[in-house]
Amino acid sequence: MLTSDSKFVLENILKKTHGLIEIKIKVSIRDAQCLGMVYTPGVATPCLTIQKDESRAYELTNKANAILIVTDSSAKKKKWNNNANMPYLEAISAIYKQICNIDAYPIICDMALVKDAETLLDTINTFSPAYAGVELFNVDSDRAKKVMELFEKCEYKNKYSLIDGTKKRELDAFLANKNTLLNSHSIFSAVWRAALDCHVFGNLNKILDFVVNAIKSDKLNLKEGKDFYVDYKAVLECVLDYIFSNKLECHDFDKYNWLGEKSSKEFVLKKLRSYLTYGSKAWLEPMPKGYYMHKHDNPENANLLHMRNKGVVGIGLKIHITSPEDLLELLNWDDLDDVADEIVDDPTVAYDLTCKSNYGAIITNGTAILGLGNIGALSGMPVMEGKSVLFKYFGGTNICPLCLQVLDVDKMITYIQRIAPSFSIINLEDIKGPDCFWIENKLIETVECPMFHDDQHGTATVVLAGLINATKLRGTSPEKMKIVMNGAGAAGISVCQLLMAYGFKNFIVCDTAGAIYKGRPKNMNPFKEKLAELTNKNCEKGKLADVLKGADVVIGLSGPNTISQENVKSMAEKPIVFALANPTPEIYPDQAKAAGAFIVATGRSDFPNQINNSVAFPGIFRGTIDTRAPKITLEMKIAAAEAIAGLVTENELRPDYIMPSSLDINTSIKVATDVAKVVIEKKLTNMKNIDLDKVQENIHSYFIDEILTDVTKDA
């Protein structure tokens, strides 16, 4: 058992690990083929599979095993701040993971914005699609009761489970008089394990009350006091008896359970035994009999990979404590209160003692998923999980995937504002234009943590990096090149702005109505009006084919098969073609080459010259987080682009190699370092005494041993 001075032990652990939990990748990324199944182009298949049948999210994502732990701080009457909640939330997450492998993600609602039960439930409902359940914590008891009452009457009661965790301390006071190693978290985790495995939806308080009453009346015998899992199994069996006797289980999703077995008491107990034997890989499903991946195409293999692993990310523990009772002793209320009090006195201490120092979110509403269009929030979850893998694998950043069930721009802004205190950085993903511009701009103004819409700024950064090297090979200066871009959505406008800031001045942007020019009467919006002011100085008119004649570069950010071989033939000598639509490019490389293209790039990992955001955003995020820069600026993006371009040396540069490999770890190290350097030199952060060597070492050490070290220190 741990020493009696658990407070000293806990504080030392937290200072070393910066929190208790992290995002864990469920699959091994060893080559571009695997990367192409986790992300583009393979991830499109599970997305479209879920779009056809949303129930398959239980098979193809982590939804079946994932819950949110949500607080609004309303139970705290004294001086308080949002950050002070994190020690409790991640302690619960760590305990649930250790005891029975539940993936619980902390969510902190802004105490200034969420002030009543209606707002809290509204927020939870909106963020619920990708999660099977939600637990309330540190919510005022009266407010929590009202939330549960409202939940019983709303349409979401049959879509996820909800439980009130406000009485955990009271339950612990009772359990202290019982001869058992269990505490309140143990009881709750048993309720959650059974509810998740049996697909129980709605209010779980009735199940919890039944179990607690059984303990209080000694109908449930917890008198062993020797073996944690003996008592835990007794509680779990009690929960299961209640569920099946009251027919609360839902068999609609049994085909997506572990090994496809029907939910039963024996099934859940077998899962627990398997977890205790094999750990978090216990529920990895076997390969189908006679299935050989090399005999199947990428989409089929991508679906299989997601199915076998039930998604590609989950929660992992930063600490190694072998027994649940030791973890429960370590994470006791008194010591967690002390940590929270330190954060109350100084909110920035949360970056030293909790996971918030490296905890971000990737958020979508599903309106522009991977070039597939508006396929829905839940259908976009495989992309959010895949992107989370890239953040972790290439940048060591823990990114929580979130899907919002909302289309209204103002409402989406409001919902993200409400949960922003949970995170140190937020990545907006696959939100249609022009909505994404309004959303990002407003959030940058109103939210403390950095906001980054990757489809705009990540794409712009990698396009600039590729074009820097393509220009070198072609031997033409940026200001003399005519660039035509097909696509005036989120990526197109941001690419235009960044490239023009770098020095590419002769720009024409096309949309479905043709060239954008000042005074164009139709199919315009405020962002296109801004483009018209900046680009197409000669007011060229016509379709894409018209303005492409004599162009040096075409950048496709539109849709499949929108650039023809005739278009390429009409361009200037040695044309550069960036066909970046995913998963199907505007023109395939062999077709473009046959039409005379000098350099061809796509967004796919299975062709040379992949222009993919994955070489940019992991390093940008790492450099931003480690310097605690409040915003990601134009200077930071240009620094990232130049860093990426510079990784292909003059001797290596050739028409089929203008970009470093997406699997080149040096890319993230270089990008993170150069971004941090700009932040320091331009004084883009309020942090003091930042050691640039430590910033570089922080990401470098992650690739060695996955331990993130201190990178900043206040004066």
Q: Band of the pLDDT at 713, cuts 50, 70, 90?
A: very low
Containing domain of residue 211, as a range? 63-356
Mean pLDDT, residues 164-173 taken together: 95
Residue 280 has pLDDT above 90, yes or no: no
Residue 172 has pLDDT above 70, yes or no: yes
Mean pLDDT, residues 57-80 taken together: 94
Determine the pLDDT at residue 168.
97
Determine the pLDDT at residue 2.
46
Same domain as 466, residue 350: no
Same domain as 98, residue 227: yes
User: Percentage of the chain with pLDDT > 70?
Assistant: 97
Determine the pLDDT at residue 559.
86
pLDDT tens-digit readout, 572-626: 999 999 999 877 899 999 999 999 999 999 988 789 999 988 899 999 999 999 9
Last residue of a domain, one of 302, 325, 356: 356
Give domain status of residue 644, yes or no: no
Mean pLDDT, residues 192-197 taken together: 98
Residue-wise DSSP of 121-174: HHHHHHH-TT-SEEEE-S--HHHHHHHHHHHHHSGGGGTSEEEE-TTHHHHHHH
Find the angle CA(623)-CA(624)-CA(625) to the nearest 5 degrees. Answer: 95
Residue 143 has pLDDT above 80, yes or no: yes
pLDDT tens-digit readout, 215-254: 999 899 887 678 999 999 999 999 999 999 999 999 999 9
* 44: its two tokens: 């499109």
pLDDT tens-digit readout, 373-393: 899 999 999 999 999 999 999
| Dist CA 223 CA 618 (whole Å) | 51
Give the residue ranges of DSSP H helices in 333-488. Answer: 333-345, 350-353, 381-395, 409-419, 435-446, 454-474
Determine the pLDDT at residue 527.
83
Residue 701 has pLDDT above 80, yes or no: no
Same domain as 156, residue 283: yes
Residue 699 has pLDDT above 50, yes or no: yes
Determine the pLDDT at residue 706.
56
- Average pLDDT over the chain, rounded to whole? 92
Residue 46 has pLDDT above 90, yes or no: yes
Same domain as 471, residue 351: no
Determine the pLDDT at residue 661.
83
Give domain status of residue 302, yes or no: yes
Give domain status of residue 711, yes or no: no
Same domain as 344, residue 479: no
Same domain as 222, residue 91: yes
Last residue of a domain, one of 574, 608, 642: 608
Tokens 């250790």 belong to residue: 98
Same domain as 487, residue 347: no
Q: Band of the pLDDT at 714, cuts 50, 70, 90?
A: very low
| Dist CA 353 CA 320 (whole Å) | 17
Determine the pLDDT at residue 712.
46
Determine the pLDDT at residue 41.
83
| Dist CA 208 CA 199 (whole Å) | 16
| Dist CA 495 CA 457 (whole Å) | 7
Last residue of a domain, one of 356, 376, 396: 356
User: Percentage of the chain with pLDDT > 90?
Assistant: 79
215 neighbors 237 (Cβ within 8 angstroms)? no
Query: How many domains does one find in the chain?
Result: 2
Residue 324, preceding peptide bond in cis (omega within 30° of 0): no
Same domain as 239, residue 117: yes
Please tell me which residue, 707 or 670, carries the higher pLDDT value. 670
Residue 507 has pLDDT above 50, yes or no: yes
| Dist CA 626 CA 127 (whole Å) | 28
Please tell me which residue, 269 or 6, carries the higher pLDDT value. 269
The CATH number given to whatever domain includes residue 466 is: 3.40.50.720
Determine the pLDDT at residue 489.
77
CB atoms within 10 A of CB 713: 12
Residue 80 has pLDDT above 70, yes or no: yes
Give domain status of residue 385, yes or no: no
Residue-wise DSSP of 194-222: HHHHHT--EE-HHHHHHHHHHHHTTSS--
Residue 707 has pLDDT above 60, yes or no: no
